[in-house]
Structure 1
Amino acid sequence: MIKTTESAVVIGASIAGLAAARALSETYAKVTVVERDVLPGGAEHRRAVPQDKHVHSLLAGGSVTLETLFPGFGDDMVAAGAFAFRSGVDWYLDGHRIQALPQRGRGVVSSRPLLESVLRKRVAALPNVTIVDNCDVLNPLASVDRRRVTGVRVASRAPGATPTELAADLVVDASGRASRSAIWLAELGFQAPRETKMTVDTTYVTRSYRREPHHLDGRPGTIISPFPGSPRGGFLLAQEHDEFILTIGGLFGEQPPMDDDTLLTFAESLPSKDFPEFLRTATRITDPVKMRYPASVRRHYEELDEFPAGYLVVGDAVCSFNPVYGHGMTIAAVSAALLRDLLEAGPDDVAQRFFRAVAGPVDAAWTLATRSDMRFTASGVTPTLESRLLDRYITRLARAAATDEVVAAAVISVLQLTETPDTILAPAVLGRVLRHMSNAARVG
């Protein structure tokens, strides 16, 4: 493929950064990924990614998209040790187990370090991509009129190193939630994006256990989403090396225990016997680790009238979601695929075009997550009449999905980000939910 532009720099070798580098590699003759952390040679935990010790669920929407960016991605995951399955993961919504559906094709689950290592290996193998680790990006470089970003100033973390300049036709910030883009924009004379925050005060604790054939009757996992009246939830998913990872916690101040005995009591409060039954026989192989997530943050770059040429922001630097919904990696993958498609039309005004394009999937995931969080009284959000009606509908939707395959398919497609939230309001789904309500009323 003919490269139309000379060079690009990606800030951060996160999943968003690696996927972005893959997208850029089709248009730019040279792509450099700059990462502040020392990158491991394989699937190891990274100091700069403290959340990588916790469960990471790559939703179906993300898996499909990564396969388009990295053909053979699923095979690479399995070859690296990821757990492959045909039967679906159980998912509890509002305390109801969603009707199990036949698995379409092969699914895979793994730890975050394994997933990241597979993507990093694929990106590092691209002939026009270089990954530089143990290096800080200090600030962007700009043209004399400060209307265009022309590269970045970087500094190796090696002793005695001095800052150097790295020229680029496009700089992509994939540095995550702690992105400094808003500060850098202000320094260049541009307006910082408006921020929307949703306080969730999520806390979760993670442990890993040995996976044995009798656990979950051979199923690959169980997911329980918190809901009003039950702000606790959890993930129990198979991993590589014959392990299960358990991440359990809650919203709005719920504090999961760190000791095993109290953890069992906590697990018994969940609307599924899977968790306590598993814990009674499982052998723990790692110490517990705790993570707190105070608030979801969305930065509205799509609203800006002016933005410097040669600059772009992706991933958690645009929107950081409540992790209990597992949206982050999928939106990162979708964003990279959109970037690749937009660059086919040329690099001009790519930021404005990208921000407008990515606003759709980001808004869909943000709405799904925040609407779920707003259902809790502790959110402090005063419900409107529309939201109260929607909350009642979601409760009835979950009940119907427990026995109705059509409703279940719609719910799972939304939870897995393969369809937008309005799918659950489609006439065919709405009609079946209403019929379930009517049948339940007659039985009652």
Structure 2
Amino acid sequence: MLGASMAGMLAARVAAEHYREVVVVERDARSEQPAQRRGVPQGCHGHVLQAGGVAVLDELFPGILGDMVAEGAPVWGDGDLGRVILEYAGHRFLPSGHLLNPVTSCLPSRPFLDWHVMQRLSARPNVTILSGHDVIGLTASRDRRRVTGVTIARRDATEAFVLGADLVIDATGRGSRAPVFLEELGYDRPTEDELVISLAYTSQWLRIPSGAIAQHMVATFPKTSDPSTVALLNHENDTWLMTVGVMAGKEPAADFADMLRIARRRIPRHILEVLELAEPVGKTNHYRTPSSRWRRYDGMVRRPEGFVVTGDAVCSFNPIYGQGMTVAAMDAMALRRCLRVGDGDLPRRFFRESAKTIGVAWRNAISADLALPDVAGERTLGIRINNRFSEWVLTAVETDLVVTSQFFRVLGMLDSPARLMRPSILARVIRANRARTQQVREPEMSPSG
């Protein structure tokens, strides 16, 4: 296993069910407590583990959710809409009521979550964490049809050595060198689907008096008139993290004062009043994502046996939609399904299986980004249809609890987006949009005074 990213740790946990020994090669040193890792530069920014990811995490590591909650991590499982403020594409979700089929989302900070997963993973008797090592390249059989291991070196030494393996899994993130390694073995690089989004975001930890904000999450996402996003997350032990992002090359927030300037046009006044009195803790952190990118390993004609790639090393989405960790969890379950059949022809089967989940998340993220006029890209007929339908659904989410309940299950990656097209849901979407059209027409038809 290359990389102890979230994708890497979950894939290693699955591999441990099928292989005698699993070695996780990781650049960063182990920490005795939750801490920001250099190899996870986005870790000091806002993260949400969606309901689908929570379900996978608790299945692979039974009881981990309860442990994190016991140590102070907030969890939202009662469906009380009064505990969240969400706005998608300019549509504000219902401010009150309870979801008819509540989903469970967990809001630990990324360092807190990573540390707990690492503790559980390293406790398994057939898993070894090899910290402080760099990956140099792959080794292969003489005919290069199978990857046989990996060449690695300690970060504080120049001498390299080979670690043999029946299966090598690359989970080294967006900067993965897998395409280069494959080319060195005589294979083509995977083709890439890419959309330039020029996202820049800024985050700041805050000290906020307990009880000052009733919600545990406030998030407003880009809309056509304003490609910014503002998120305020209540993390473990009543700590708060604020993240502000801008897209399409807009000027990012330089400091907390700048963050507040952007937030003033996006979030409710009562939240702003608390933020303006909040105490910043530590430094302001910055991060940039130039594009969403999907390396199409599933489309390769030739690929070696014994080597698969997962997580951001395959596909990195616009992070503001919070899909990354949950898609990584779904990738791990795809790997589990494939390994239960055996490891014959594993790369082809795994890449095709994981592409099903990645494809759904990719279309959702790309469609949302291309709904913004400032993002350059081809608006295909499929994307235009998807965005028009999304607009209808989000209009219904403003007023209809049934549609909202189903939308949360799709958002949490528990259900397919196709569930929003069921006749019972479509009828409610149509009714809500007719009511909205009527409300818009009535003022226009009123006689002027």
TM-score band (shorter)?
A: over 0.9
Native 8 Å contact 2:199 2:248 kept in 1: yes
1:235–1:201 CA distance, 2 compared to 1 (3 A) = same
What amino acid sits opposite 1:290 in the alignment? Answer: H
- Does 2:37 correspond to 1:17? no
The SS at the match of 2:159 is: coil
Partner of 1:327: 323
Which of 68, 86, 90 is residue 91 of structure 1 equivalent to? 86
| Stretches of structure 1 lacking an aligned partner (at least 5 in a row) | 1-9
**CA offset at residue 271 of structure 1?**
4.9
- Does 2:80 correspond to 1:82? no
- For 2:316 and 2:378, how far apart are their aligned partners in 1? 23
- Does 2:212 correspond to 1:212? no
Which of 194, 199, 203 is residue 197 of structure 1 equivalent to? 194
- For 2:57 and 2:291, how far apart are their aligned partners in 1? 27
What amino acid sits opposite 1:22 in the alignment? Answer: R
The SS at the match of 1:284 is: strand
Native 8 Å contact 1:141 1:153 kept in 2: yes
Which of 29, 41, 45 is residue 38 of structure 1 equivalent to? 29
- For 1:289 and 1:108, how far apart are their aligned partners in 2? 23
Native 8 Å contact 1:268 1:275 kept in 2: no
- For 1:120 and 1:152, how far apart are their aligned partners in 2? 22
**CA offset at residue 132 of structure 1?**
0.4
1:173–1:251 CA distance, 2 compared to 1 (3 A) = same
| Stretches of structure 2 lacking an aligned partner (at least 5 in a row) | 443-449
- For 2:91 and 2:268, how far apart are their aligned partners in 1? 9
The SS at the match of 1:185 is: helix
- Does 2:174 correspond to 1:183? no
What amino acid sits opposite 1:223 in the alignment? Answer: A
1:384–1:162 CA distance, 2 compared to 1 (3 A) = closer
- For 1:205 and 1:27, how far apart are their aligned partners in 2? 41
What amino acid sits opposite 1:286 in the alignment? Answer: G
Partner of 2:447: none
What amino acid sits opposite 2:92 in the alignment? Answer: R
**CA offset at residue 274 of structure 1?**
5.4
Native 8 Å contact 1:256 1:266 kept in 2: no
1:146-165 equivalent positions in 2, closer than 5 A: 146-159=144-157, 162-165=159-162
Native 8 Å contact 2:103 2:408 kept in 1: no
Q: Give per-residue Cα distances to partners, 1:311-364, cap 9 Å, x unaligned.
A: 111111110111001111001111111111211111111111111111110000
Partner of 2:122: 124
Which of 343, 346, 368 is residue 347 of structure 1 equivalent to? 343
What amino acid sits opposite 1:25 in the alignment? Answer: A
The SS at the match of 2:279 is: coil
Partner of 1:171: 168
**CA offset at residue 106 of structure 1?**
5.5
Q: Give per-residue Cα distances to partners, 1:185-217, cap 9 Å, x unaligned.
A: 111111211100011111111001123233322
What amino acid sits opposite 2:427 in the alignment? Answer: G
- For 2:267 and 2:210, how far apart are their aligned partners in 1? 23
- For 1:274 and 1:58, how far apart are their aligned partners in 2? 26
1:24–1:385 CA distance, 2 compared to 1 (3 A) = closer
1:284-323 equivalent positions in 2, closer than 5 A: 284-323=280-319
- For 2:199 and 2:183, how far apart are their aligned partners in 1? 31
Which of 59, 70, 73 is residue 68 of structure 1 equivalent to? 59
Partner of 2:446: none
Aligned CA-pair RMSD: 1.8
Moved more, 303-312 or 84-93: 84-93
Native 8 Å contact 2:311 2:324 kept in 1: yes
Native 8 Å contact 2:292 2:317 kept in 1: yes
1:186–1:440 CA distance, 2 compared to 1 (3 A) = same
**CA offset at residue 62 of structure 1?**
0.7
Native 8 Å contact 2:399 2:432 kept in 1: no
What amino acid sits opposite 1:371 in the alignment? Answer: S
Native 8 Å contact 2:152 2:162 kept in 1: yes
1:54-65 equivalent positions in 2, closer than 5 A: 54-65=45-56
1:262–1:356 CA distance, 2 compared to 1 (3 A) = closer
- For 2:135 and 2:201, how far apart are their aligned partners in 1? 31
1:18–1:386 CA distance, 2 compared to 1 (3 A) = closer
Partner of 2:38: 47
Partner of 2:229: 233
- Does 2:266 correspond to 1:270? yes
What amino acid sits opposite 2:392 in the alignment? Answer: R
1:355–1:390 CA distance, 2 compared to 1 (3 A) = closer
1:250–1:424 CA distance, 2 compared to 1 (3 A) = farther
Q: Give per-residue Cα distances to partners, 1:390-422, cap 9 Å, x unaligned.
A: 433323322210110111122222222222223
The SS at the match of 1:365 is: helix
Partner of 1:3: none
1:241–1:258 CA distance, 2 compared to 1 (3 A) = farther
What amino acid sits opposite 1:170 in the alignment? Answer: L
Segments ≥4 residues shifted beyond 4 Å:
none
- For 1:383 and 1:341, how far apart are their aligned partners in 2? 35
- For 2:386 and 2:15, how far apart are their aligned partners in 1? 41
Moved more, 10-19 or 267-276: 267-276
- Does 2:281 correspond to 1:281? no
Q: Give per-residue Cα distances to partners, 1:102-132, cap 9 Å, x unaligned.
A: 4837643111001000000011000000000
Native 8 Å contact 1:80 1:114 kept in 2: no
The SS at the match of 2:213 is: helix
After TM superposition, the score normalised by the length of structure 2 is 0.92
- For 2:353 and 2:167, how far apart are their aligned partners in 1? 18
1:287–1:139 CA distance, 2 compared to 1 (3 A) = same
% identical aligned pairs:
36
- For 2:270 and 2:406, how far apart are their aligned partners in 1? 24
- For 2:257 and 2:6, how far apart are their aligned partners in 1? 36
- For 1:346 and 1:392, how far apart are their aligned partners in 2? 43
What amino acid sits opposite 1:144 in the alignment? Answer: R
